[in-house]
Structure 1
Amino acid sequence: MSELLSTINGYIWSNALVYLCLAAGVYFSVRSRFVQVRQVPEMIRLMLKGEKSPSGVSSFQALTMSLAGRVGTGNIAGVATAIAFGGPGALFWMWVVAFLGASTSYVECTLGQIYKIRDALTGEYRGGPAYYLSRAWSHTAAAPAFKVYGYIFAFVTILACGLLLPSVQSNSMALAMNNAWGVSTWWVAICTVIVLAFIIIGGVKRIATFASIVVPFMAIIYIVLALIIVAMNASEVPGMISTIFASALGIDSAFGAIIGSAVMWGVKRGIYSNEAGQGTGPHAAAAAEVSHPAKQGLVQAFAVYIDTLFICTATGFLILSTGAYRVYEGESADGRVIAEGGILPADVAVGPTFVQTGFDTLWSGAGSSFVAISLLFFCLTTLIAYYYMAETNLRFVLGKHSPVNVRFIGGTVGSNATLLLQALVLVSVAIGAVSTASEAWTLGDIGVGLMAWLNIIGIIILQQPAYKALRDYEKQKKDGVDPIFDPVALGIPNATFWETRDPLTGKERDLRVDA
């Protein structure tokens, strides 16, 4: 089975997907006139400001929901894996994919806002690739094909976020806790399932509240402590940066033979971490209450920077500056060691232990515990975000024909299908916690790759409304007004949610729901 999964993963994550992600980022950057550079001050302003309503969360809560999905084991174990199999240069390519991916994130998340709907069952805002793929061209002869495309994406996302991706998060969390405290992975599995069940049954509001508290707090602490350790090793920083660039560009002879691996692992782990183009960000973006879709598109573009340029960079610098790394030939821990920092135990597994060893240089014995706690919160919030995305796509598939609600623990918690999805996610978490790391990561990569293929091709075709929204937003800002979105005036059809709003006030004209 492992060989079959590896073969499937190899086809999905071929060079074609790597170059598609990079090329799409370049194209979107040029088309948006490098929105990821021009609008950074506005991104920061919008990130800290925003409205919320009974149907939608605030921009900041939507950002933290998105970061809950982005910030996870990819920022810790993922960076360590990228360096182990791609060399220090993989970190450079993670930066590249983050810079280019910010424009991709703007496009997909703005589309998510434009074509969002109000859930007929819960009254909450929902959206994402399945929604914009099926709605954007529904007025054309190509409507049936795009509707099918939307359903394909929805089914793939339910599979990826409900079954394939959760196992990676629970696996890294369980391994880190086992390494730090000797806790049985079975105990980690049981406790995680109980906590996760309590949160996801509470719906999007409880998810948003939990994420808005936990994600910023843990991210700031993690970054600060990592940078303190880097500062303690300041003498190593110039050489470390030189090695990163030399490895990335094939200048360093020690890493020249694996320059292709540096690009591959940098892009693969970069996308796994920041999720730009994967199609996950638009789900959280659509849940926000904003007066103009471009607002949330800009906020979500900055989320890519927070994830990769801040958190992943802090992890990479920590690993490299402390010497807690080992680089293997052949993209496998069974390959020849071609470089190492010198402080890792001989038999250490590739993954969070690299980071735990680096943190131990600050306070011997405490590093393992801190990373385990960090992964506990990072992975838990990511699991919650995965469930939310899987549920959103399940709602899309069910449409107006959702089954009658059932009673559970004294209250209405959703349809039979929703309960089945919740059970699927919880089972995936339990299995992932007790599985091997290689199997869990392979499943996760398959899920990410399938979603990225479908979403990037889709937004390349559907991108135009995102640019219209950006130009309209910038024009209204230049005129000195708080931008309000009017899709009819901009010639953007099928944005039915926004068509129910008064273009002069931005307030809804009625309480009509879509499905």
Structure 2
Amino acid sequence: MTEFLGTLNGYIWSNGLVYLCLAAGVYFSVRSRFVQVRQVPEMIRLLFQSEKSSAGVSSFQALAMSLSGRVGTGNIAGVATAIAFGGPGALFWMWAVAFLGASTSFVECTLGQIYKTRDHLTGEYRGGPAYYFSKAMAHTRAATPFKIYGFVFAAVTVLACGLLLPSVQANSMGSAMTEAWGISSWVVALGTVIVLAFVIIGGVKRIAAFATVVVPFMAVVYIAVALVIVIVNAAAVPEMIGLVFSSAFGTDSVFGAIIGAAVMWGVKRGVYSNEAGQGTGPHAAAAAEVSHPAKQGLVQAFAVYVDTLFICTATGFLILSTGAYRVFEGETETGAILADGGALPADTAVGPAFAQAGFDTLWNGVGSTFIAISLAFFCLTTIIAYYYMAETNLRFLIGKYATKQVPVIRGTIGSNTTILLQALILISVASGAVSTATEAWTLGDIGVGLMAWLNIIGIIALQTPAYKALRDYERQRKSGLDPVFDPLALGITGATFWETYEASSEDRERVTV
């Protein structure tokens, strides 16, 4: 089975997906006139002033929910893995895929808002790739193929977010805690399951409230501590940056031969971390209460920067400036060692231990504890975000039958399938915490890759409404208005929520975060 999964992962994460991620980012950047650069001030402004309602969360809460999915083990263990198998140059390609991916994130998250709907069971906003695939072409001859495409994406996402991806987060969290405190992986599994159950049973409101508190706090603390260590090693920074760029373009004498690996691992771990194009961001984006879809598209584009340019960079600089890394040839730990920074014990495994060793260069013995605590929060919030995405796609699959009563079994189809999904993700977390890292990461990569293939191809076909929304938003802002969305006036069909949407003072309120 391990060999089969490895082969499958190799096909999914072929050069085709790497080039697709980069090419799509370039295309969306040009088509949007580099919205990820032009609208940075607007992105920041929208973070602090947004709407909320009984059905939707605020833009800041939606950003926190999105970041809870983006910021996880990929920001620590993922960066270490990219450097170990792709060399320091992999960090540059993570930056590249983040810059380009911000435009991709704008497109997919704006589409998520345009084609969102209300949940039949809870009344909360739901949306995501499955929804825009099925609704955008609802009035055309392509309606049936796109509806089927939406169901395929929803099924893959339930599998990926409900079973495959949570195990990766739980595995990294368990490994870090075992390394730091010698806690049994089974104890970690049990503790995680208890906390996770408490949060996810509370629904989207509790998920948003939890993420709003935990994610910003931990992100700021992590970046600040990593920055202190980089400053202490300031003398090594110029050489480190030069090494990142030279190895990224194959001009370094040591890492020049693995430029292909640098690109592959940089893009692979970049997409895994910031999730641009993967199709996860639109789920959180659709949950937000906004007067115009472009607002949330801009906020979610900024989330990509926070994840990769801030947090992943902090990890990369921490590892490289302290020399707490080792680079292997052949993309495996059994390959020849091309470079050894010298700060790692001989038996250090690729993953969180790289960052732990980096912290220990300044505060000996503290690194393991700090990384374990950071991963505990990052991974837990990511697992919670995965559950929300899986639940959203499960709702899409059962549709109007969510409120249908089940004979013999008390409750509705929606409530009973939700319980089954909650049980599935808890089992995935428990098994992931006690499995090997190789197995967990392989399953996670398969889940990410399948979603990315389906979503990027889909949004390339459906991108036009996102640009119409962007132009409309910019026009209204230029006129001094708080933009309000009218899909029919823009020639956008299938946006049934917005066609009947009326923002009443009882349901929405202006909030400052």
Q: Is TM-score (shorter-chain normalized) higher than 0.5?
A: yes
2:63 and 2:485 map into 1 onto residues whose CA distance is 20
Pair 1:194–1:414, CA change in 2 (3 A): farther
Aligned ranges 1:308-323 → 2 under 5 Å: 308-323=308-323
Q: Deviations over 1:450-471 (max 9, x none)?
A: 0000000000000000000000
Deviating more after overlay: 283-292 vs 47-56: 47-56
Q: In structure 2, how many angstroms separate the alpha carbons of the residues matched to 1:351 and 1:50?
A: 38
| Residues 1:181 and 1:412: Cα distance change in structure 2 (over 3 Å) | farther
Q: Is the 8 A contact 1:17 1:453 kept in 2?
A: yes
- The aligned residue for residue 286 of structure 1 is 286
- CA displacement 1:298-329 (0-9 Å, x = unmatched): 00000000000000000000000001000000
Partner of 1:229: 229
Q: Which moved more, 1:249-258 or 1:100-109?
A: 249-258
Q: Post-superposition shift, 1:94?
A: 0.1
Q: Structure 1 length as normaliser, TM-score? A: 0.96
* Percent of residue pairs identical: 77
Q: Corresponding residue for 2:122?
A: 122
What CA distance in whole angstroms lies between the structure 2 residues aligned with 1:292 and 1:204?
21
Match for residue 488 of structure 2? 488
CA displacement, residues 236-273 of structure 1 (integer Å, 9 cap, x when unaligned): 00000000000000000100111000000000000000
- Partner residue in 1 for 2:440: 440
The SS at the match of 1:415 is: helix
Find the aligned partners of 1:128 and 1:3 in 2 and give their Cα distance. Answer: 33
Task: Between 395-404 and 203-212, report the one with greater CA deviation.
Answer: 395-404
Instruction: Kindly provide the CA deviation profile for residues 344-374 of structure 1, in whole angstroms up to 9, marking residues without a partner as x.
Output: 0001100000001111122111110000000
Q: Which 4+ runs in 1 deviate beyond 6 A? A: 410-413, 508-511
Question: Residue by residue, what CA displacement relative to the aligned partner does 1:161-181 show, whole Å, maximum 9, x if unpaired?
Answer: 000000000000000000000
Aligned 1:100-499 pairs, distance under 5 A: 100-402=100-402, 404=404, 415-499=415-499
Structure 1 stretch displaced more, 366-375 or 493-502: 493-502
Contact 2:356 2:371 in 1 (8 A): yes
Q: Alpha carbons of 1:460 and 1:334: their partners in 2 closer, same or farther (altered >3 Å)?
A: same
- Distance, in Å, in 2 between the alignment partners of 1:225 and 1:231 is 10
AA partner of residue 481 (structure 1): L
Cα pair 2:167 2:429 within 8 Å, conserved: yes
1:100 to partner: Cα distance: 0.1
Structure 2 distance, partners of 1:413, 1:122, is 13
Instruction: Name the amino acid aligned to 1:282.
Output: P
Structure 1 Cα separation of the partners of residues 422 and 151 of structure 2? 20
Deviations 1:20-48 (A, max 9, x none): 00000000000000000000000000012
User: 1:174 touches 1:189 (CA, 8 Å); kept in 2?
Assistant: yes
Q: Are the equivalent residues in 2 in contact too, given 1:166–1:428 (CA < 8 A)?
A: yes
Rounded to whole Å, the distance in 2 between the matches of 1:70 and 1:473 is 26
For 1:321 and 1:60, the matched residues in 2 are separated by 33
Contact 1:395/1:402, CA 8 A, preserved across alignment: yes
Instruction: Give the superposition deviation at 1:508.
Output: 9.6
Cα contact 2:120–2:403 (8 A) shared by 1: no
Deviation at 1:510, TM superposition (A): 11
Q: Which secondary structure state, in structure 2, belongs to the residue aligned with residue 402 of structure 1?
A: helix
Deviation at 1:411, TM superposition (A): 11
Once residues 193 and 411 of structure 2 are traced to their aligned partners in structure 1, the CA distance between those partners, rounded to angstroms, is 20
> Residues 71, 405 of structure 1: CA spacing in aligned structure 2 closer, same or farther, 3 A cutoff?
farther
How far, CA to CA, are the matches of 1:13 and 1:457 in structure 2? Answer: 15
SS at match of 1:138: coil
Q: Distance in 2 between matches of 1:510 and 1:54?
A: 6
Q: Distance in 2 between matches of 1:141 and 1:465?
A: 18
Aligned-partner residue type, residue 107 of structure 1: V
* TM superposition shift of 1:402: 1.6
- CA apart distance, 1:415: 1.4
Rounded to whole Å, the distance in 2 between the matches of 1:361 and 1:201 is 41
Question: Could you say which residue in structure 1 is the equivalent of 2:511?
Answer: none
Letter in 1 for 2:72: G
Q: Is the 8 A contact 2:404 2:413 kept in 1?
A: no
User: How far apart, in 2, do the equivalents of 1:354 and 1:115 lie?
Assistant: 42
Deviation at 1:413, TM superposition (A): 12
| Aligned amino acid, residue 304 of structure 2 | V
SS of residue in 1 equivalent to 2:348: coil
Q: Using a 3 Å threshold, how does the CA distance of structure 1 residues 405 and 219 change in structure 2: closer, same or farther?
A: farther
Structure 1 residues 36 and 197: CA distance shift in structure 2, 3 A: same
Assess if the C-alpha contact under 8 Å between 2:120 and 2:402 holds in 1: no
Amino acid at match of 1:219: A
Provide the residue aligned with 2:64 in structure 1. Answer: 64
SS at match of 2:330: helix
Shift of 1:509: 12
Q: Summarize deviations over 1:109-153 as a string: whole Å, max 9, x none.
A: 000000000111000000000000000001001100000000000
The amino acid across from 1:415 in the alignment is: S
Contact preservation (8 Å) 1:404, 1:415: no
- 3-state SS of 2:339 partner: strand
C-alpha RMSD of matched pairs (Å) = 1.6
Whether contact under 8 Å (1:327, 1:339) holds in the other structure is: yes
The number of residue pairs the alignment matches comes to: 505
Counterpart Cα distance in 2 of 1:455 and 1:162: 18
Amino acid at match of 1:501: Y
Letter in 1 for 2:7: T
How far apart, CA to CA, are the structure 2 residues paired with 1:411 and 1:240? 59
Tell me, yes or no, if the aligned pair for 1:247 and 1:256 is still in contact at 8 Å. Answer: yes
Give the distance between the partners of 1:342 and 1:265, measured in 2 at CA: 22
- Cα distance change, pair 193–481 in 1 and its aligned pair in 2 (3 A): same
1:414 shift after superposition: 5.5
Q: How does 1:2-13 map to 2 (within 5 A)?
A: 2-13=2-13
Q: C-alpha deviations, 1:392-411, integer Å up to 9, x for none?
A: 000000101126579xxx99
Contact 1:109 1:281 in 2 (8 A): yes
Q: Which amino acid aligns with 2:73?
A: T
Normalising to structure 2: TM-score of the pair?
0.97
Extract unaligned runs of 5+ from structure 1.
none
Per-residue deviation at 1:507?
4.2
Inter-partner Cα distance in structure 2 for 1:302 and 1:130: 23
Contact 2:401–2:413 (CA<8 Å) still a contact in 1?
no
State the Cα distance separating 1:501 from its structure 2 match: 2.1
